[in-house]
Structure 1
Amino acid sequence: MKRGLSEDDAKPHHLGHRERLRERFRLGGGEALPDYELLELVLFRAISRQDVKPLAKALIARFGSFAEVVAATPERLKEVPGVGEAVVTELMIVHAASKRVTKGEINRRTLLASWNAVIDYCRAAMAFAEREQFRILFLDKKNGLIADEVQGEGTVDHTPVYPREVMNRALELSASAIILVHNHPSGDTTPSIADIDMTRKLIDAGDKLAIRVHDHIIVGRNGHASFRGLKLI
């Protein structure tokens, strides 16, 4: 004789999985979960009535890591079956939140006194972008952040930078110093000859206006390179 289904039996399996995963997160935080499970927690908000584990694993397989998934462009995300506008929106919110948190860390202190926070912010903002971006952090006399601006976006391996425009903007903001940042979508953070030449031109232009170039940082998927650390400045 076939027994009747209990209330628990009648519930879809993924509902129990969701609660168990949330409980593990509450007890151990994000460090207790692999990338695909942390991604599941984000997908729960976008997809309420199905098992999202296969989609989470597909996204990790496609992009490589949780960080790369949330930083991917909407167009590339939608190439993965099962990703719609709701999923894209939730992932964009997570990415925006991560940048806001790391930027908050550098806003509360002088940049040179919170260097690790600067690196974290730059990597959150740019490390996984598919095209090169050139960003400038404008600093006041106490090395506090005045403005953070993307000056240009280029191809997968080149962004045009014009020293006159950079220095004009620094003067407009009354900046005393700048930090240059750009990304290498290839992941290799080794400065190119063009990177070194461009940096020297900016240093020369800044010297004439008493605007110091503190550093030039290259960020990539697997780390970063500092021109000052490499003794290129």
Structure 2
Amino acid sequence: MADKAATPHHAGHRDRLRARFARAGGDALADYELLELFLFRSIPQKDIKPLAKDLIAKFGDLGGVTAASIEKLCEVKGVGEATAIDLKLLHAASARMALEGALDKPVISSWSSLITYCRTAMQHEPVEQFRVLFLDKKNRLMADEVISKGTVDQAPVYPREVVKRALAVEASAIILVHNHPSGDVTPSAADVEITKTIVDASKPFNIVVHDHLIIGRQTTASFKSLGLL
């Protein structure tokens, strides 16, 4: 009886959860259970089911947890800096894998992969972020850069800087992307105006603006599909 009392009650739970994952894969597990599995190595000797549930409750879903800043993650009781860095590593790896699905491929044939990458990278950003995707002459994705970050509802964008970067990387075309932390992907008057300004600034250099995407928590809007470009 003494041995049983000395065994942590969560030890068997960890083994059972691992076995479920090995048997049925990630689709058989809830978000908090997948998070538990990931955190087992970060926090090896503690029942972390309550912590996993607290993280999901605070940040909304698994993507929201990994996209949260280190500072915000550390505000949750039980999360130290090392654990927060591990979670950020998961987000970075997810974004990198999503990017690999679109990199060096014509955007027409890899459009869904491109959207997946943009959503993985930006949909949970708490402030507005403006990103530019640079394409070569064959419309293959060469690179992307975050041009600016701002407040919850605004990121300052300078058209000349966008064009300057496109020329520097020898891009023939660009796709503009920014997120709306509010979740509403309806283009604002400012969104429409900055797009027009960038298009006009790019024309003398034969740089084509293919689209402007707005990333929300649940959906994505395309200026081209909306007839705004």
TM-score by length of 2: 0.96
Contact residue 122 and residue 215 of structure 2 kept, 8 A: yes
Report the Cα distance in structure 1 between the residues aligned to 2:107 and 2:84, rounded to whole angstroms.
32
Deviation at 1:108, TM superposition (A): 4.6
Deviation at 1:214, TM superposition (A): 0.5
CA RMSD between the two structures: 1.3
Code of the aligned partner of 1:82: G
Report the Cα distance in structure 2 between the residues aligned to 1:176 and 1:108, rounded to whole angstroms.
14
**Equivalent residue for 1:99, pick from 84, 95, 99:** 95
Determine whether 1:225 maps to 2:221: yes
**Residue aligning to 1:21:** 17
**Residue aligning to 1:122:** 118
**Equivalent residue for 1:46, pick from 37, 42, 49:** 42
Report the Cα distance in structure 2 between the residues aligned to 1:62 and 1:56, rounded to whole angstroms.
10
Report the Cα distance in structure 2 between the residues aligned to 1:127 and 1:161, rounded to whole angstroms.
19
3-state DSSP of counterpart to 1:111 = coil
**Residue aligning to 2:72:** 76
Contact residue 45 and residue 90 of structure 1 kept, 8 A: no
* Runs of 5+ unmatched residues, structure 2: none
Report the Cα distance in structure 2 between the residues aligned to 1:140 and 1:37, rounded to whole angstroms.
42
Deviation at 1:43, TM superposition (A): 1.3
Deviation at 1:82, TM superposition (A): 0.8
Report the Cα distance in structure 2 between the residues aligned to 1:199 and 1:106, rounded to whole angstroms.
23
Determine whether 1:112 maps to 2:108: yes
Equivalences, count: 229
Code of the aligned partner of 1:14: H
Report the Cα distance in structure 1 between the residues aligned to 2:127 and 2:118, rounded to whole angstroms.
15
Deviation at 1:193, TM superposition (A): 0.6
3-state DSSP of counterpart to 2:214 = strand
Report the Cα distance in structure 2 between the residues aligned to 1:45 and 1:29, rounded to whole angstroms.
19
Matches within 5 A, 1:29-44: 29-44=25-40
What is the percentage of aligned positions where both structures have the same residue?
Answer: 56
TM-score by length of 1: 0.94
Contact residue 103 and residue 142 of structure 2 kept, 8 A: no
Deviation at 1:112, TM superposition (A): 2.2
3-state DSSP of counterpart to 2:102 = helix
Report the Cα distance in structure 1 between the residues aligned to 2:18 and 2:85, rounded to whole angstroms.
21
Report the Cα distance in structure 2 between the residues aligned to 1:8 and 1:37, rounded to whole angstroms.
25
Determine whether 1:152 maps to 2:148: yes
Deviation at 1:176, TM superposition (A): 0.5
